[in-house]
Chain A
Amino acid sequence: MGIILLVVFLLSFSIGRYGVPVSEVIRIFISRVFPMKQTWTAEMATVVLNIRLPRIVMACLVGCALSAAGASYQGVFQNPMASPDILGASSGAAFGAALAILLGGSMRIITLAAFASSLVTVMAVYLIAQRAPGLRVVNLILAGIMVGSLFTAGTSYIKLVADPTNQLPAITYWMMGSLSGSKLKQVVFVIVPIALGLIPLILIRWQVNILTLGDEEARTLGVNTSRLRLVVILCATLITAASVSVSGMIGWVGLVIPHLCRKLVGNNYRYLLPASMIAGAIFLLIVDNVSRNLLAVEIPIGILTAFIGAPFFIYLIAKREKTL
């Protein structure tokens, strides 16, 4: 899988309006470390290093983060349907970020607002689903839809009052989800919260298995369930919010990719989480390549992932086991 990621990673540099051969891409990278004879043009180096590098790294980061968040949410909620978008985490983050844009906040403020509002959404959804009678799997989805639409309505209101020349287009385009504006500065900025969330998740991934057995059984196996659940939710929400704040709403990655990985490596989080992260990066990188190359005008990536994700969700509902 790692090899596939590397190949896709390198190929992505050469695909685009301005074609650069893969051999030149590799040479440009090596030349940054070891001095070597220049066989490429100055334009090639600029395109590869300043335009494509930030965007490609960003696609990998966001894909990895959303997919890991989805896999983690599925574990803590013991629910194969959970994902950042279904739980409303994405719409929550979008609301917070839109509000921050409206108030003219800096990049840092936007991320913080996205995180706070996303966390409120996930907690609200979780509490509602817990309290309501009936099937927990269905409750969680319903609560996610309700709370999510509440925040979407809030976002719409913000758009209504936003300044139509500058803020409104920014918010609207950003909501569609796109990686087109990626700058190296943003990559450096977002890598911190994503690492802060991902590293603990990777470290405690074995314990997430125990949570999926249910609270009581997990406690008899010696796991402090409430603390563990809180840690996982905080981390997963942090990485969701961080990626939403730089890339906008890119839906479905967190649902589709962990499921494909469950088919590939099984449900054990020891292997599932790393697999989901790598597969998420590969997936978003490929989709982003399509989004910037398919048509002369770039298609926002969120639209493409929805075209792939929505049919997959229908497939999941049709195929899910009777016990759920």
Chain B
Amino acid sequence: MSIEIRDLCFGYCTREVLRKVSFSALEGQILAVLGPNGVGKTTLFRCILGLQSRYSGSIEVDGVDAHTLTARELAHRVAYIPQTHGMAFSYSVLDMVLMGTTHNVAMMSVPKARELDAANTALVRMGIANLSEKNFSHLSGGEQQLVLIARALAQNTKTLLMDEPTASLDYGNQSLVLQQVRALADDGYTILLSTHNPQHAIWYADSVLALFNGTVAAFGQSREVVNTALIRTLYGVDATLIETTHGPLISPVIEGDNNR
């Protein structure tokens, strides 16, 4: 069990953001975190990543209390894949991926052959070795996301945290990225990802954590948990579930459908 969270509570001043959140993420599985905007998905991730430390309850990473780990020690265990974003200075793809190895590099040193190997392996694994010399900021959103995943692989951790990996990607790139993520889970990585698309959770995730009003609305196998009632609770919209040979398809109920 790589991530185990018990009774996590967190509040900013007066407002409680997370209340008694408990769940666990298993090795080789994708756990999708669902919930409307502002429900505390980001806060949850920030707590796990050690960016927010004033929470109560416990977060265990590989059986160790995350509170007791330094930033460097935590970086040995958990890699974070942010959404693509603009940067003050842009680097080559290889340099970006090399940065993932920083926790293995002494403070007063630079990455050596071993780190370069790890970076190149990660690039090959994501199928973007040809981009290695390109400038990161000149890549498409999908390519940038793959580079950030490659950076996390170069970090050589067992657990990956992804903040809405498909946000701001086009339809084709969404599938491309999610298929790569699925392949990583099948290779034994533990993956936590937040998403706004319940369909992605059904297709790609093994289990689902649904957050609503700071508490766990549902937690379990994705095909059992995601249903029309949950969609109604989380997002306030009516949906229908259509069983197909590729698993269930979710479609929102479109009013006045017959008139078109």
* Residues of A bordering B, CB below 8 Å: 74-75, 78-80, 137, 200, 203-207, 209-210, 212-214, 216-217, 219-225, 262, 266-268, 270, 323-324
Contact = CB atoms under 8 A, between A and B. Distances in A.
A262 B76 CA distance: 31
Nearest to B151: A221
A266 B99 CA distance: 15
Interface in B73-132: 73-76, 78-80, 82, 86-92, 95, 99-100, 102-103, 105, 107-111
Contacts, number: 88
Contact of A206 (B89, B100, B105): B105
Contacts of B13: none
Interface of B: 46, 49-51, 70-76, 78-80, 82, 86-92, 95, 99-100, 102-103, 105, 107-111, 155
A270 B110 contact: yes
Contacts of A206: 102, 105, 109-111
Given A220-B80, A221-B155, A207 B89 contact: no
A220 B108 contact: no
A213 B79 CA distance: 15
Given A219-B71, A222-B75, A207 B102 contact: yes
A221 B110 contact: no
Contact of B89 (A212, A224, A270): A212
B72 A222 contact: yes
B88 A221 contact: no
B88 A78 contact: yes
A294 B164 CA distance: 61
B88 A324 contact: yes
B138 to A, nearest CB: 12
A224 B72 CA distance: 8
Nearest to B85: A214
B99 A210 contact: yes
A200 B109 CA distance: 11
Nearest to A79: B88
A224 B71 contact: yes
B149 to A, nearest CB: 14
A266 B51 contact: no
A220 B61 CA distance: 14
26 contacts: A74-B89, A75-B89, A78-B89, A80-B88, A205-B110, A206-B102, A207-B107, A217-B82, A219-B71, A220-B78, A220-B79, A220-B80, A221-B99, A221-B100, A221-B103, A221-B155, A222-B73, A222-B74, A222-B76, A222-B103, A223-B102, A266-B92, A266-B95, A267-B89, A323-B86, A323-B87
A128 to B, nearest CB: 19
A212 B136 CA distance: 14
